[in-house]
Structure 1
């Protein structure tokens, strides 16, 4: 399945599961076969229903499924046999350093979302994910934050610093009457070994604090920023919790999981949390909407993304005599599908590629890069019928976005260009982010027009790109198409 879903581990009481198919999923004859890309939000439902649905999505036990790893909940009713000795030891060692992070609506004081966190300094600094604390950064006038310890002690938190690109935030617990117990970081000099045991802690589904066991499987291949591949179970609500080694030292921060597999989860390496803690130690609390800082960090991200794509040559994929650009294997995953049996007169091949470069910034998911192709060959259809089918498929592409509270309506320009003897009809559309000035969503559509019963429809989507960088990527993309003429 191309582009399987990924779930961020914050549990929210007002959840949103967007229809996250590729942008052109409805545009072509067999568009229904397009599968969902990475998901960065949750489904809208009540807390109880959310827990039930998330449990199912995350792979609840079914006949023939691998058993879930042992979990150590806070409730004493669970028999001790459910835990390994090491997991119990780690749980007892870490339990007083863990907190649940709650985002509350100021007017009603009701929970809007929950996640996990952990104390890293005696004066109350807490590490969590940015997507857990994003409402405190972007809407502090509407939301407040609170922490709850494993023993039920509660207090306010204030946001000090965040790293949008790596999905980290540092909070401070207010009103502490005694020094906070602290989890230590594992020294960076002590490299993790493949297969080393990892223990992840947090508050899954708002049920209670728990520990899950797993293994270190190296860094995630193709991830734009370093991510640890954790061979263990994470669940919504565990976002921002610590992952520790056998000595109880933090080696990573819980961040996400895959929904299409078992025990495929992801951690942010501890070195990035340590750097943010140092920055936060002298910072003043964030009390005004921090869109300027979010924008600054996202502009850094899109610059790095643009440089990487411009400096890495495209690979060529062949469709008949058409050669189309696809990202280097180190940058993106590509998936293909062959002839569609519902369209007997068409030989239709599809390719979809996506880079693992997206960044969660509150309500925004930016930094995504996707490419897709549809290659048509209809030798028995006739030129007129082929032109009608081909034109309809191009015209059905949903790139003319309407404006909304987050983005302006798309503005597009269309040109006919020649790429070394291969004429293309090209459309470039831009849609600006209203609260993130200087960032745009860009779509590039291209259709070859040199053959009467053959053609390739191509699409490039980039989210959260600066205008000039978007044009650079569009030009580089269109320059890479080729037609291999007969010798």
Structure 2
């Protein structure tokens, strides 16, 4: 039957409108339907300890972009990078069982890793949604919590937390141990994030890495070649150095980050999220006053169970005594310095400490005695732990000792932070009566 043109176009428009309306207002699947659809694409990521044939860690992962690639958390697979002889990496799928896996790439700042599985997985690829969910939007988290079966958890998205080195999605759902690396989903089953942590202080507060970071990591790693462990470690060291440079750039805080301890001006808050703390330690019997200030950076990068990177602690110790001789006050400061620089020759997963002493000039030509110690971080070329201790050499009843500790820094960034700390230092002696 042939319809006249004046009827064809209105009917076509009505059909298109109905199709768009049905698509736009189609009800999202319920949790049971979503679980059945997504479950095959969610896997276990298992690190097996070869020494005792046991399991050292179990996490979750999911399949997207390629059917032989699995996305998971970096912290779940770090043992395989730094202790490869002791730890084997496997992926357990729903219908193909346990399969060997190798690491394609890592993003330590976003706690992400891409694994390549030895066989193509016969599962659907999950879709990434690289836009943040709205506050109040409903969603789901999937993974395998501990020894329990794979689970789906309902929750609500509540914005983004900026209290870490990278933004994390806040999800009011129970993300339990073992679900790390699994997908955080919107109501239609699209991946909006990767389960990464849960609050130890507040109930039902989970955190997820935004899917945009997953997409960026995939787009940066389109190569087919699996990198060697040395290449992976060099890339991790490069990422740490880039993170260090961000810390240096953020280190120039407003003037409220400078504080006074007696006649001295010293560096204050390292980060706005974690203000410095100070404790007065008056000791009348010993005839001197003392204030200890501690300033701590709020963020660091997880490298392994034995090593974090980008962490800074600054301590400033002010001593005042009208009754002690200059020699007695100097000995008091020297005792504190000896205690602070009492580092072991070899401890942890790093090399021995190497220390030097030097005299230099600070701001306003202030003479400073500097003790500097450095040790290499094992298996991460170009990264070191640092311990700096410096004392302004001033006359009178006041003395100051500043201690700066840095974990996992490159030389250039460590030097820049030390100089910024010393540049804050000044001394204003009391006016004569």
TM-score, length-scaled by structure 1: 0.71
Write the distance in 1 (CA, Å) between the matches of 2:147 and 2:321: 55
1:219-368 pair list within 5 angstroms: 219-286=160-227, 288-289=229-230, 290-309=232-251, 312=253, 315-327=257-269, 329-330=271-272, 333-340=274-281, 347-362=289-304, 363-368=306-311
**Bigger Rg, which one:** 2
Q: Residue 417 of structure 2 aligns with which residue?
A: 473
Q: Which has the higher helix share?
A: 2
Residues 369-425 of structure 1: per-residue CA shift (max 9 Å, x gap): 222223334556676655444332221114534235732222222234443265443
Write the distance in 2 (CA, Å) between the matches of 1:444 and 1:299: 19
Write the distance in 1 (CA, Å) between the matches of 2:270 and 2:307: 27
Change (3 A) 1:421 1:99: same
Q: Give the 3-state SS of the residue equivalent to 2:276 in structure 1.
A: strand
Is 2:151 the counterpart of 1:210? yes
- Aligned pair count reads 398
Change (3 A) 1:216 1:399: farther
Q: Residue 153 of structure 1 aligns with which residue?
A: 97
Once the 2 structures are TM-superposed, how far is the Cα of residue 316 of structure 1 from its aligned partner? 0.7
Once the 2 structures are TM-superposed, how far is the Cα of residue 160 of structure 1 from its aligned partner? 1.7
More divergent stretch after superposition (148-157 vs 466-475):
148-157
Partners of 1:90 and 1:199 within 8 A in 2? no
Q: Which of 292, 317, 322 lines up with 1:374 in the alignment?
A: 317
Is 2:140 the counterpart of 1:199? yes
Residues 220-275 of structure 1: per-residue CA shift (max 9 Å, x gap): 33433333344444333222122222222212112234434444443222111112
Write the distance in 1 (CA, Å) between the matches of 2:300 and 2:423: 25
Once the 2 structures are TM-superposed, how far is the Cα of residue 168 of structure 1 from its aligned partner? 0.9
Write the distance in 1 (CA, Å) between the matches of 2:155 and 2:401: 44
Q: Residue 395 of structure 1 aligns with which residue?
A: 338
1:12-27 pair list within 5 angstroms: none
Partners of 1:122 and 1:179 within 8 A in 2? no
Q: Which of 420, 427, 431 lines up with 1:483 in the alignment?
A: 427
Write the distance in 1 (CA, Å) between the matches of 2:213 and 2:148: 29
Q: Residue 179 of structure 1 aligns with which residue?
A: 122
Q: Residue 166 of structure 1 aligns with which residue?
A: 110
Once the 2 structures are TM-superposed, how far is the Cα of residue 156 of structure 1 from its aligned partner? 2.4
Q: Which of 349, 367, 372 lines up with 1:406 in the alignment?
A: 349
Q: Give the 3-state SS of the residue equivalent to 1:205 in structure 2.
A: coil
Write the distance in 2 (CA, Å) between the matches of 1:342 and 1:273: 56
Change (3 A) 1:389 1:193: same
Partners of 2:271 and 2:298 within 8 A in 1? no
Is 2:63 the counterpart of 1:119? yes
Aligned alpha-carbon RMSD (Å): 3.2
Q: Residue 377 of structure 2 aligns with which residue?
A: 433
Write the distance in 2 (CA, Å) between the matches of 1:349 and 1:234: 42
Q: Give the 3-state SS of the residue equivalent to 1:408 in structure 2.
A: coil
Q: Residue 14 of structure 2 aligns with which residue?
A: none
Partners of 1:122 and 1:181 within 8 A in 2? no
Partners of 2:276 and 2:296 within 8 A in 1? no
Once the 2 structures are TM-superposed, how far is the Cα of residue 122 of structure 1 from its aligned partner? 5.3
Q: Residue 24 of structure 2 aligns with which residue?
A: none
Q: Point out which structure has higher relative CO (alpha carbons under 8 A, 6+ apart).
A: 1
Q: Give the 3-state SS of the residue equivalent to 1:180 in structure 2.
A: coil
Change (3 A) 1:398 1:152: farther
